Structure 1
């Protein structure tokens, strides 16, 4: 029977590096999606976006607010120390999107914001150290 550990420090470091890089790739892709495919059409007044927010019934101001939250969250995802609070805020936005899909729009589409919410939760969890460093610095 071998007494060697299953993982060595080098293996653990390699795994952390791979997770770190993969997470950054996911964050960049999500930020690009939020800015280009989600927030920009809301700001530009694309017909689909206007019609969707008419269906929701809260007025077009809510379209601008939602676009602003998406764009802010996307930018926050790209700043290491803001990635955790941005991801947490985006989780809240995705909860609202899921509820809106289920209760007002098309329930089958609720899976998309739900899956984004899961990705944002993973980002918030893995990027928590950077946020804790920011909070510690602010407390000094």
Structure 2
């Protein structure tokens, strides 16, 4: 398997730019959850799963941000964060209300990164 790397330098820069923006966004959001900002505590109280879920979500977001920045794990980071944001959208729609648009945008951008960096099988007869 090889990675489906963007073919042109401009495409590579775009994907890296999106990865960096996502890493900054998820790093900040995850750090806010782990630090116990009052707004985050209130949101997770409204979810009703307990504050352990805030810590878990914060760790997933920070971990996903780190995975995005490591070239070999960018696909996994994008996939993990896209799945996390799909769950966040569902949480907004079903449990806590509010505007799910930011989570939708982050989900789409994370899915874009995962798609661009997805592993693809090598063609038969090619060498690494």
Q: Tell whether the structures are fold-level matches, with TM greater than 0.5.
A: yes
Matched residues in 2 for 1:97 and 1:132: separation?
A: 32
CA distance in 2: counterparts of 1:90 and 1:100, whole angstroms: 15
Equivalent residue, structure 2, for 1:70: 61
In the alignment, which residue of structure 1 is the partner of 2:108? 118
- Tell me, yes or no, if the aligned pair for 1:53 and 1:63 is still in contact at 8 Å: yes
The number of residue pairs the alignment matches comes to: 116
Give yes or no for the alignment of 1:92 onto 2:118. Answer: no
In the alignment, structure 2 segments of 5+ residues that lack a partner are 1-6, 123-128
Q: CA RMSD in A?
A: 1.7
Which structure exhibits the higher relative contact order, with contacts defined as CA atoms closer than 8 Å and separated by 6 or more residues?
A: 2
Q: Offset at 1:50?
A: 0.3
Q: Equivalents in 2 of 1:48, 1:132: separation in Å?
A: 45
Distance 1:85 1:118, change over 3 A: same
Q: Deviations over 1:30-76 (max 9, x none)?
A: 1011112x011111110000000000000000000000000010000
Equivalent-residue separation in structure 1 for 2:93 and 2:121 (angstroms): 35
* TM-score, with structure 1 as normaliser: 0.77
Q: Is structure 2 residue 117 aligned with structure 1 residue 127?
A: yes
Per-residue deviation, 1:121: 1.2
Write the distance in 2 (CA, Å) between the matches of 1:85 and 1:40.
20
For residues 79-124 of structure 1, the C-alpha deviation after alignment (integer angstroms, 9 at most, x for no partner) is 11101011111111011100000011224x1121111111111111
Query: 3, 10, 26: which is aligned to 2:18?
Result: 26
Larger Rg: 1
Name the structure 1 match of 2:30: 39
